[in-house]
Amino acid sequence: MASKKIQEINAGSMADIAFLLLIFFLVATTMNVDTGIQRMLPPYTQNQEGIDIKERNILKVYINKANQVAVDGIPMDINNLKDRAKEYILNRANDPKMSEIEVQNIELIGNYPVSKGVVSLQNDRATSYETYIHVQNELTRAFNEIRDELASVKFGKPFADLEDNQKDAITKAVPQRISEAEPRNIGGK
C-alpha cells in the first residue's frame, strides 16, 4: 500500500490574522468606566474658616457602626430618608426648624424659593460601605426628584431631557448641597 502524503497547511499568515483580529476588538470594544459618586465641591475662598451656616440650615444625617441612621438625632429607617430630606429642602410650610428659603429670580424660571439647606452626612468608621452608599443614594434621589418635579412644571419634561440652559436654571433653583464630615466613632451596637 502506498502511503499518501498529508498536505501541510500553511499557518504562517494565521498569526497575522489573529493579531489583526485582536487589534480590531481592542479598538472596537468600549469599556464601562465607573465614575464614582458625583459631588460638586464648594468654590474656593481665601478664608475657609469664615463660613457660617445657621443651625436650622443643616440637616444632620448620622450612620453609626450598627448601620443605623439618625436624622438630627432621631432614629430613622433609610427608606424614609429621601422623603425627610425632600421635606427639609422644600420647607413648604415655612417651618422655622427647617431650612431657610430665599426667593431668587432665576433666568427661565422667574422668582423661585431656593433652599439654603445643607445635608450634612457623617458616618462611623465601622459603617458598612453598602449602608453608606444606600444613604448617599437616598439623599441624591431627594434632590433628583425635586429637580424632576420642577422641570416637569416649568418645562414639561424630566430634568434629564432638558437642554443645557434649562438644566442650569433648575440646578440654580435646586442646588445639591451635601456635606460629608470626617468619619468618626459615633457609636451604636
Q: What is the pLDDT of residue 35?
A: 64
For the CA atoms of 164, 90, 40, 152, the dihedral, rounded to the nearest 10 degrees, stands at: -20
3-state secondary structure string, 107-138? CCCEEEEEECCEEEEEEECCCCHHHHHHHHHH
To the question of pTM greater than 0.75 for the whole model, the response is no
174 Cβ partners below 8 Å, 6+ apart?
Answer: 89, 114, 115, 143, 146, 147, 150
Count of beta carbons in the 10 Å neighbourhood of residue 87 = 16
Pick the closest to residue 88 from 58, 54, 49, 122 (CA basis): 58
Q: Mind listing the pLDDT tens digit for each residue in 56-112?
A: 899 999 999 999 999 999 999 999 999 999 999 999 888 988 999 999 999 999 999
